[in-house]
Amino acid sequence: MSAQTQTRRITAPEIRARKGGEPIVCLTAYDAPMARLLDPHCDLLLVGDSVGMVVHGLDSTIGVTLDMMILHGQAVMRGAKRALVTVDMPFGSYEKSPQQAFENAARILSETGCQAIKIESGTYAAETIDFMAQRSIPVMGHIGLRPQAALADGGFKAKGRTRAERQKVIDEAMATADAGAFAIVVEGVAEDLALEITQKVPVPTIGIGASAACDGQVLVTQDMLGVFEWTPKFVKRYDNQAERTTAAVQRYAEEVRDRSFPATAQVYTMTRQDG
């Protein structure tokens, strides 16, 4: 097998072609070691602006910068060899104009080597998505609950619970697809609304707090691994790493204090001198 075959990545058109087919597996990644572990099992790795909260301890994603996203995108690209890597465009990096969005997206692509970018796509973003897609930048949309809009919305609130709001989310989805996005993240909407959107748009939907009927699913990796004490309602914990890590660190601390670590197996000895 050639090196080129070994490192061939899934592409945006291939993800687009999965509409209605085998569900798309997606998780977030922010560093090389985790990307290396996730890569064999995921079709798509999202370098989400959730890195601000998950890794940097911010209260929201608003404080995330373009330089932060590029730094973490570079790390993930070093760890992942197969999955399509998509990098979030942070708040303030694309809203001003399509030209601003293109310039910053081009910087992300060129400096990280990733295969696509993602933007939170209200109906206002259709022109921006079209502008970038026409200039060969693969764009993933994000509708429903949009974390970057948390200040305007008064927090992280599910969307589509009233008739008017429901239609607004559908309009966002249709505008995002029509503008040329190759896939759409659908976050925090009622199950029946996610199903309706999935049936109406011609591109894959990737649900998070949506419906199993979506064309794929994404979760924040640290949430599904049980790193935090609290997780959103839509998260299923597949592990409890917080508990296991705490136990491991406790054992380490005990062994350091009673001087049982390092033991013989963990120390070096002088080599034998000849003569």
Taking the C-alpha atoms of residue 163 and residue 5, their distance in angstroms, rounded to an integer, is 49
Closest CA to 147 of 120, 123, 173: 120
Secondary-structure percent of the chain, ordered helix, strand, coil, rounded to 5: 45, 15, 45
Name the residues annotated as catalytic.
187
Taking the C-alpha atoms of residue 111 and residue 71, their distance in angstroms, rounded to an integer, is 9
Hey, what's the torsion of the CAs at 204, 207, 210, 215, to 10 degrees? 40
Record the tokens describing residue 227, joined without a space.
């790193």
> Which residues partner with 25 through β-bridges?
217
Taking the C-alpha atoms of residue 28 and residue 87, their distance in angstroms, rounded to an integer, is 10
Q: Where are the beta strands (DSSP E) in 99-181?
A: 116-118, 139-144
